């Protein structure tokens, strides 16, 4: 009566909801599921865009930091070279710096040439030194101060180079020193940078300059010492945008200068690093950080390809998006199953309510009430277990996805970090979800048995021969049921035997190495039943856990769903059998399964044996 009244109330409540809202509960459930899945996908897109911006911001900060460090280091290196050139200028006599004539005479003196020779290959490793007049005339030189010009030649290209440096000094009177455009040696192909230090009279009249040829490798070796991504490029730029030095070098390729207008803001404020997104020479776009040197008209540019920066992000988002889709699919499946249960329950409740209303006999009402109560208990039990299991076990993979997202966010802040561990965690979560869903479906599916008459010992021997156990475990069949025939669903009973043997093998894995690891599988017949015994020498089951081993979701292991033994009991009960478990701590566990024999199985076995004897005779 109570169950019938509850069903009737359920129908009335459902109809009332439809009348007030105009929406069926199942439709509302499906709409909520679609909204939840949509929210998950939208949040995934937002998170992906956030990670992309984070990857770009991290790259910008890293390039800006490296650019600042390299600019400071390059400035210190040029300070050392400038001090060396200033020392050469100071080596001339004090009177030589009073007017142009005396400066020319002192600069052309043999002892000045000896001074220049002695300063070659100093800490800056200058490959050439020269003294030029205010009009660019070459007064003295030592070493290959201009590539491709012999030591005795003081005209032609050398004069042109001197005139160029003198013109640059005149154009920037506020500068005491400057760097010229890189010059390539026609014989060796090596690049050198002319670095000039101005020489003025005490009254400020320009007399000339000391020019040193600095090998470009002096700067590229400095750039190469910085740990950066393989696609990073470091460039030393002149004030007009000319590339003075580059790491890594590009042999055989022309160096493209940067537009002056792009560098104007950089040279105006040497205390700030400018970060910009620019077109890459080879196509696409790149992130570039520019920092001007504090004391010299040059700047350091550090750049990386945006495609390379986002390559790792793309890989991470592919995994993250995949897990989001899997999570959305799992939610959709859960909503579908719950909706099906609602529809079934509603249909059954309506049928029972209509029948109860039309019946007048109290006995029929009582019978219908009992049936409704049993049906409701069964449906609600399966629905409750299904919903609780799916909701409970999905939290672990979803938690793994969230933890992986956190790890991805942390890893993206540092370029070049591998993602092996987070990816492995994600893969384990997927495998666990798949295993949980398989066990859950197996337990909740009420399949009809496909019984066949099986000679149990022969069938069991063949199956055990295919069963694999760890090398240290001995699987010992002791089959004593002769030719007993049992009507069973072979596939379902196979699952019973496999689960029991695997549980025993897992228990033996926890025993001491020096202890015997043995699984005995015995069969016999007793009182019209087949008796199957699976016994192991494992650690046993604690008494407080023994009474709960057939409860769904109960497990003492750190893995699994706790549905193995409940499924075994379900299959045995479905065959009309009985399963019992005996265990003692430190000695092992014994599981006994009793299945009814086929009627007159022994008589049929004897008749078949007689037929075989006759045939043999």
Spell out the residues 6+ positions from residue 469 whose beta carbon is closer than 8 angstroms to its own: 475, 501, 505, 519
Q: What is the pLDDT of residues 312-332, one digit of tens each?
A: 777 777 877 787 788 888 888
Say which DSSP state 146 is in. S
How far apart (Å, rounded) are the C-alpha atoms in residues 464 and 449?
A: 22
Measured N-to-C along each axis, helices 490-508 and 564-574 cross at an angle, to the nearest 10 degrees, of 150
* Maximum separation of any 2 CA atoms in the chain, in Å: 139
- For residues 238 and 298, is the Cβ–Cβ distance under 8 A? yes
Q: Would you mind telling me the total number of residues written for the chain in this entry?
A: 617
Q: How far is CA 433 from CA 334, 399, 481, in A?
A: 13, 12, 40
How far apart (Å, rounded) are the C-alpha atoms in residues 8 and 340?
A: 20
Ramachandran quadrant class, 536 (left: phi over 0; alpha: psi -120 to 50; beta: rest): beta
Q: Give the residue ranges of the chain where pLDDT is below 50.
A: 1-4, 7-8, 11, 20-22, 147-159, 254, 261, 376-377, 380, 383-384, 387, 391, 601-603
Domain coordinates of the chain in residue numbers?
Answer: 2-56+310-444, 452-604
Measured N-to-C along each axis, helices 306-358 and 362-412 cross at an angle, to the nearest 10 degrees, of 170
pLDDT of residue 28: 72
pLDDT of residue 387: 46
- CATH of span 452-604: 3.30.565.10
How far apart (Å, rounded) are the C-alpha atoms in residues 560 and 548?
A: 16
How far apart (Å, rounded) are the C-alpha atoms in residues 390 and 401?
A: 16
How far apart (Å, rounded) are the C-alpha atoms in residues 140 and 122?
A: 19
Burial of 207 (0-12, 13-18, 19+ CB in 10 A): buried
DSSP assignment of 154-174, as one string? -STHHHHHHHHHHHHHHH-TT
Spell out the residues 6+ positions from residue 73 whose beta carbon is closer than 8 angstroms to its own: 222
How far apart (Å, rounded) are the C-alpha atoms in residues 552 and 443?
A: 9
pLDDT of residue 591: 92
pLDDT of residue 50: 82
SS3 228: coil
Burial of 295 (0-12, 13-18, 19+ CB in 10 A): middle
Q: What is the pLDDT of residues 47-57, one digit of tens each?
A: 888 888 888 88
| Helices and strands (H, E) in the chain, number of each type | 15, 18
pLDDT of residue 429: 67
Q: State both tokens at 566.
A: 């409940």
Measured N-to-C along each axis, helices 362-412 and 420-444 cross at an angle, to the nearest 10 degrees, of 170
Q: State both tokens at 394.
A: 């999905």
How far apart (Å, rounded) are the C-alpha atoms in residues 179 and 141?
A: 18
- With the CA atoms of 331, 337, 342 and 345 taken in that order, what torsion angle do they form, in degrees rounded to the nearest 10? -160
């Amino acid at each position: 009566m109570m169950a019938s009244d509850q069903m009737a109330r359920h129908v009335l409540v459902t109809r009332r909801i439809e009348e007030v809202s105009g929406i069926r509960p199942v439709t509302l459930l499906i709409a909520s599921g679609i909204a939840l899945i949509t929210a998950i996908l939208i949040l995934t897109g937002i998170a992906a865009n956030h990670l992309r911006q984070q990857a770009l911001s991290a790259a910008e900060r890293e390039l800006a930091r490296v650019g600042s460090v390299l600019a400071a280091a390059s400035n210190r290196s040029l300070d050392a070279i400038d001090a060396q050139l200033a020392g050469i200028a100071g080596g001339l006599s004090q009177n030589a710096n009073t007017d142009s004539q005396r400066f020319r005479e002192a600069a052309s003196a043999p002892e000045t040439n000896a001074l220049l020779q002695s300063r070659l290959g100093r800490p800056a490793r200058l490959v050439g030194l020269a003294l030029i007049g205010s009009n660019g005339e070459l007064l003295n030189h030592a070493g290959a101060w201009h590539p491709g010009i012999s030591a005795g030649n003081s005209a032609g290209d050398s004069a042109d180079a001197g005139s160029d440096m003198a013109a640059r000094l005149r154009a920037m009177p506020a500068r005491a020193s400057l760097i010229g455009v890189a010059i390539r040696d026609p014989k060796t192909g090596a690049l050198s940078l002319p670095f000039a230090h101005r020489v003025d009279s005490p009254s400020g009249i320009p007399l000339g300059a000391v020019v040193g040829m600095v090998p470009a490798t002096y700067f590229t070796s400095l750039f190469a010492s910085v740990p950066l991504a393989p696609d990073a490029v470091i460039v030393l730029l002149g004030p007009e945008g000319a590339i003075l030095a580059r790491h890594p070098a590009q042999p055989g390729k022309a160096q493209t200068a940067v537009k002056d207008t792009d560098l104007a803001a950089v040279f105006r404020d040497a205390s700030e690093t400018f970060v910009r997104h620019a077109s890459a020479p080879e196509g696409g776009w790149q992130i570039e950080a520019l920092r001007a040197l504090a004391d010299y008209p040059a700047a350091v540019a550090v750049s990386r390809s945006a495609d390379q920066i986002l390559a790792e992000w793309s890989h991470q988002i592919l995994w993250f998006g995949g897990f989001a889709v899997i999570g959305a699919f799992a939610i959709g499946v859960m909503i579908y199953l719950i909706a099906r249960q609602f529809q079934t329950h509603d249909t059954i409740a309506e049928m029972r309510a209509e029948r109860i209303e039309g019946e007048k006999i109290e006995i029929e009402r009582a019978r219908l009430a009992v049936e409704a109560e049993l049906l409701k208990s069964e449906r609600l039990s399966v629905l409750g277990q299904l919903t609780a299991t799916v909701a409970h076990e999905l939290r672990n993979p979803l938690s793994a996805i969230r933890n992986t997202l956190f790890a991805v966010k942390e890893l993206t802040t540092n370029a070049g970090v591998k993602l092996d561990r987070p990816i492995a965690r994600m893969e384990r979560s997927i495998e666990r979800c798949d295993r949980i869903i398989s066990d859950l479906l197996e337990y909740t599916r009420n399949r009809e048995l496909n019984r066949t008459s099986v000679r149990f010992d022969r069938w069991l021997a063949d199956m055990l021969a295919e069963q694999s156990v760890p090398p240290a475990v001995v699987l010992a069949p002791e089959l004593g049921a002769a030719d007993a025939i049992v009507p069973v669903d072979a596939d379902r009973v196979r699952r019973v035997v496999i689960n029991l043997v695997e549980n025993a093998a897992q228990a033996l894995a926890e025993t001491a190495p020096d202890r015997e690891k043995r699984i005995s599988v015995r069969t016999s017949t007793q009182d019209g039943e087949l008796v199957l015994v699976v016994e192991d020498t494992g650690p046993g089951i604690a008494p407080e856990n023994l009474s709960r081993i057939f409860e769904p979701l109960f497990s003492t292991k750190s893995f699994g769903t706790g549905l193995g033994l409940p499924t075994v009991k379900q299959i045995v009960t479905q065959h009309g059998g009985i399963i019992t478990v005996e265990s003692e701590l430190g000695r092992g566990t014994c599981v006994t399964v009793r299945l009814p024999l086929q009627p007159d199985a022994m008589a049929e076995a004897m008749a078949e044996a007689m037929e075989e004897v006759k045939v043999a005779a």
